[in-house]
Amino acid sequence: MDEFRFKQFVVSQCRAAMNVGTDGVLIGAWAGSSGVLQRQPLRVLDIGTGTGLIALMVAQRMPQAEIVGIDIDDMAVDEARENVASSPWKERISIRRQALQEVGDEVFDVIVSNPPFFINSMKSPDSQRSVARHTDSLSMEDLIRHSCRLLSDEDGAHASFILPLETATEAQRFASIYGLFLQRRVGVHTLPSKNVKRVLLEFGKIPSNNIMECEEIMYLNAGQKSEWYHRLTEDFYLDAY
């Protein structure tokens, strides 16, 4: 479909390479859900913003946040800007045509991303979609290294990512190299009978004495959300979803 309707905003997805999907919704709803810095306003960086979905979700959840969304795809940037302009939070969100590696000496309290991660898969013949899905333009090492560079040193500042199970371990390895410490890790099953498909990761610059690690299920069956997934997304999805 050309647009996806949420309770408080609409996401047009005619031009961006990657449409609204479960991964973006999961990280948009989960990032910062354990609590964030008390300093206001918070500065948030959305890496690979695409349609602007995650930036919009964060704006809804964090009413005092100033959000920057970055992407290297011109059409995605144009579409994200239009989605932001039609939202209730247009004055708090800015969208830039910029690679993560090009972001200068800025500091962010929250960094969030649904990054490219199909490292070993065959590329799509659609070059725009291929850039959005693969790591040629943003390796896992660059993602973690630059996230560490841009993340505030304040206690509570954090970087959150959603990744396939097979690349989550690699992210944790680079985090240990560049000085990020695991705060939370959630393995996500689509159904009780399925293996973990995605992993939600949260890192900070200060070691935690109480790392939260668990596994959650999205759907109890093909049409019934789990209590965890319902609670996480109830402020966003229309009843039809």
Whether 241 maps to a domain, the answer reads no
Q: Dump pLDDT digits (tens) for 205-230.
A: 999 999 999 999 999 998 899 999 99
- Residue 86, sorted as left (phi over 0), alpha (psi -120 to 50) or beta, turns out to be alpha
Report pLDDT for 223. 82
Low-confidence ranges of the chain (pLDDT < 50): 119-124, 126-135
CA distance 108 to 150: 6
Q: Is 240 among the domain residues?
A: no
Helix 74-85 with 53-61: angle, nearest 10 deg? 30
Q: Which of these, 184, 133, 186, lies nearest to 21 by C-alpha position? A: 133
pLDDT at 37: 67
Residue 156: inside a domain: yes
Query: What percent of the residues of the chain are helix, what percent strand, and what percent coil, each to the nearest 5?
Result: 30, 25, 45
Q: What is the CATH number of the domain that holds 14?
A: 3.40.50.150
- Whether 9 maps to a domain, the answer reads yes
In the block, tokens 């609409």 appear at 10
Tally of structural domains, the chain: 1
Helices (H), 14-163: 22-30, 53-61, 74-85, 127-133, 140-150
pLDDT recorded at residue 30: 97
Residue 38 is predicted with a pLDDT of: 66
pLDDT on residue 123: 45
Tell me if 177 is assigned to some domain.
yes
Residue 83: inside a domain, yes or no? Answer: yes
